[in-house]
Amino acid sequence: MQAYEGYFEGRHFYPKETDAEIPEHQRVVVTVLDEAVQEDEIIKRRLEAIDSFRKAMREIDARGDEPVPEFERVKFTREVDL
């Protein structure tokens, strides 16, 4: 049996340890504690994810295997007629 500390956001569980792996279709027991996660922990986790993404993009660019495509800029606040 293993235990992972983390937090829920929406319907997703974010473990505190970045190397935590829970196998698919694994039976689990979740204990909800009477304390909220500090907002700075959530922000730190999101910044780490962004840094990881940027690092991966730089590695792809440095390899030169395949050019990174240019994506159309999207402004989510504008109205669009469909």
Segment 6-17, tens digit of pLDDT: 888 788 888 877
The answer as to whether 69 is a domain residue is: no
The answer as to whether 31 is a domain residue is: yes
H-type helices in 1-82, by residue range? Answer: 39-63
| pLDDT at residue 82, as a whole number | 57
Q: Give CA separation, 62 vs 4, 51, 66, in Å.
A: 35, 16, 10
| pLDDT at residue 75, as a whole number | 67
Q: Quick one: CA torsion of 11, 29, 22, 39, rounded to 10 degrees?
A: 50
The answer as to whether 79 is a domain residue is: no
The answer as to whether 70 is a domain residue is: no
What is the span of the domain harbouring residue 35?
Answer: 6-63
**Total domain count, the chain:** 1
The answer as to whether 73 is a domain residue is: no
Strand partners, 72: none
| pLDDT at residue 73, as a whole number | 72
Q: In the 8-state DSSP scheme, what is residue 69?
A: P
